[in-house]
A and B are shown apart, each in its own frame.
Chain A
Amino acid sequence: MSGLTLATISHAFAGRRVLDTVSLVIRPGELVALVGPSGSGKSTLAAIAGGVLKPDRGRIMRRYARHGMVFQQARLLPWADARDNIGFPLQLAGMGAERIAARVQAAAEAVALRPDDLSKRPDALSGGMRARVAIARALVVEPDFLVFDEPFAALDPALRRRMQDLVLSLSGARGFGGLFITHDLFEAARLAHRIAVLDRQGRGITGSLTPPGAPGTRSEATIFGFVEKTRDDPLLRDLVNVDERALPLEGACDISGFRRCC
């Protein structure tokens, strides 16, 4: 059982406040989906949670052994093939080559990468393959907490579904907690115990929504009904409605669906 507490986190980039006293408690074994408009500071919060960025103010308490992190962009080493990219965290930890090979094999299978794709370098992989390599790299460390920043945005619906099931089985079987950032309300409603909504200007978590039942046990109808109902929730106003920042109508994107723009 693993959890994470982010207490009154504030962070500014070059004097511009991006996160302002954001607090988020992820209880042991809880998978929290974080949603919020683009530019609200979700990735920044993920970087802080993952220990990549030191916040200007605030405290982080981790109650887990290891986290596995997936960034919004795949961030693969361009000189290494997919196999070495997946094994990179294990190499860092100084693990032996044989054990690395076995673990990489298992992680690659879990994300449905074919063996012949494993010897390709990132520039020879498709966008979806790169995303899956990054996911495999996060899973290969056998994490007990996940920090996933829109990990499935580049995947087709079938693969996306498969990856969601993978996360569900991991969190269900081993009681993982995690912070899962997504723009897709259906994805959030399928995977998460709770959906936290980040304020549009990063001024704290404005509230949470809890889909009925536990993740993995919700039926499609339940998920669909929940998403339809919460669309009207004032919490999600900034996320669901087309606001003043949006493009002209023909270029407008469906923020909550697959076709959301990047």
Chain B
Amino acid sequence: MMRSMRFDPGLIRARQRERLAEWADMLPVLAGRAAWRIGPPLIGIALFLALWQAAHLQYGAFILPSPWQTVAATVTALSGLAGWAALGATLARVLLALGLSVVIGGGLGLLSGYVAVIRAILAPVAIILLGMPATAWVILTMIWFGPSHGAILFTIAIVTGPILYIGTVDAVRGRDRRLEDMAASFGASALARFHRVALRQILAALGPVIGIALALGFKVAIMAELVTNVAGLGAEMARARAQMDIDMALANVALAVIGLLLIEHLLIRPLQSRTGHWQRPDG
């Protein structure tokens, strides 16, 4: 009985049809869900482009090129080696400097999170550094190091370092210590408690902070490049300004945004979803 049922071709076809029908029923639901997910951002983008276009029509191409002209200029910039080189130089600088400030700011933050005395000593320093405007650092490092690669690295690192420091201290202090007690009850050593229980929570809390530091670092990098005229997106913008080439200036802005999106989605998001997936209720 079972066997004949399972191998009856008519029955199999009927079942397949049933499954197809189920899918057909699901289709509007799935489409609706997809529309809900990508619809609103698309409307936002369209709105932004429409405003841009309207402003372009109002003020003319000399003040504000149209979105289309900007895309064309961006493509032109990326079709030569120079555009890629500028983007690459800025990206590389930001990543290098951010790595530096993760090591120093994050390292000191870990230490301060655990040792109250160090935290008390470093607190005023962190507040002063956080309060320093980024432009002040651009000027100072220009004077100290001259217009060089190192000056820009230093600027980015000194601006993002305190943010990572504060973020790490908060992450250490905000962890759930009861979990470490639990591990201790099973005989975990202090080191095991740190790297099996604490570090995980600290990294998860640090993800968003690194995202913020990255965005800030990118902005500071472009500003520093603009002032020091060291190769990069900022320097390209300085050149565009000197030549009053508004198309090229906007193309560089577009490149900067693209660069930021690239790092965000290729580097930060994957890292975040690896360390912090348990914090999102839907993840």
Check if A and B associate: yes
| Residues of chain A at the chain B interface (Cβ within 8 Å) | 47, 50-53, 66-67, 69, 71, 73, 75, 77-79, 88-89, 91-93, 121, 123, 141, 147
Choose one: A66, A67, A79, A92; the contact of B188 (CB below 8 Å). Answer: A92
| Interface secondary structure of B, over-half rule | helix
9 contacts across the A-B interface (CB closer than 8 A): A51-B187, A52-B184, A71-B178, A88-B183, A89-B187, A91-B196, A92-B186, A123-B281, A141-B186
A47 touches B181 (CB 8 A): yes
B182 touches A75 (CB 8 A): yes
* CA–CA, A78 and B182, complex, Å: 13
Q: A73-B178, A79-B200, A92-B192 are in contact. Are A121 and B278 (CB under 8 A)?
A: yes
B10-58 residues with Cβ-Cβ distance < 8 A to A are none
| Interface secondary structure of A, over-half rule | loop
**6 closest A-B pairs (Cβ-Cβ)?**
A79-B278, A89-B186, A69-B185, A75-B182, A50-B185, A52-B181
B172-196 vs A: 1/0 string, CB under 8 Å? 0000001101111111100010001
B278 touches A51 (CB 8 A): no
- Of B181, B186, B200, B278, chain A has the most CB atoms within 10 Å of the CB of B186
* CA–CA, A141 and B196, complex, Å: 18
Interface status of B197 (Cβ within 8 A of chain A): yes
Closest-CB distance, B175 to chain A (whole angstroms): 11
Closest-CB distance, A211 to chain B (whole angstroms): 29
Closest-CB distance, B186 to chain A (whole angstroms): 4
* CA–CA, A93 and B189, complex, Å: 10
Interface status of B277 (Cβ within 8 A of chain A): yes
A52 touches B278 (CB 8 A): no
| Chain B, interface residues (CB within 8 Å), range | 10 to 19
Contacting residues, chain B, for A67 (C-beta < 8 A): 185
Closest-CB distance, B174 to chain A (whole angstroms): 14
* CA–CA, A88 and B185, complex, Å: 12
B181 touches A79 (CB 8 A): no
| Residues of chain B at the chain A interface (Cβ within 8 Å) | 178-179, 181-188, 192, 196-197, 200, 204, 277-279, 281
* CA–CA, A50 and B278, complex, Å: 28
Choose one: B178, B200, B278; the contact of A123 (CB below 8 Å). Answer: B278
Closest-CB distance, B177 to chain A (whole angstroms): 10
Q: A51-B184, A79-B278 are in contact. Are A92 and B178 (CB under 8 A)?
A: no
Closest-CB distance, B181 to chain A (whole angstroms): 4
- Of B179, B182, B192, B277, chain A has the most CB atoms within 10 Å of the CB of B182
Contacting residues, chain B, for A75 (C-beta < 8 A): 178-179, 181-182
Contacting residues, chain A, for B192 (C-beta < 8 A): 92
Contacting residues, chain A, for B197 (C-beta < 8 A): 77
- By beta carbon, the residue of chain A nearest B275 is A79
Contacting residues, chain A, for B204 (C-beta < 8 A): 79
* CA–CA, A67 and B184, complex, Å: 12
* CA–CA, A53 and B182, complex, Å: 11
Contacting residues, chain B, for A91 (C-beta < 8 A): 196
Contacting residues, chain B, for A69 (C-beta < 8 A): 182, 185-186
* CA–CA, A75 and B181, complex, Å: 9
* CA–CA, A107 and B183, complex, Å: 18
B179 touches A52 (CB 8 A): no
Contacting residues, chain B, for A79 (C-beta < 8 A): 200, 204, 277-278
- By beta carbon, the residue of chain A nearest B204 is A79
Closest-CB distance, B253 to chain A (whole angstroms): 39
Contacting residues, chain B, for A53 (C-beta < 8 A): 181
* CA–CA, A88 and B192, complex, Å: 12
B278 touches A71 (CB 8 A): no
Contacting residues, chain B, for A121 (C-beta < 8 A): 278
* CA–CA, A141 and B204, complex, Å: 29
Contacting residues, chain A, for B181 (C-beta < 8 A): 47, 52-53, 71, 75
- By beta carbon, the residue of chain B nearest A141 is B186
Closest-CB distance, A93 to chain B (whole angstroms): 8
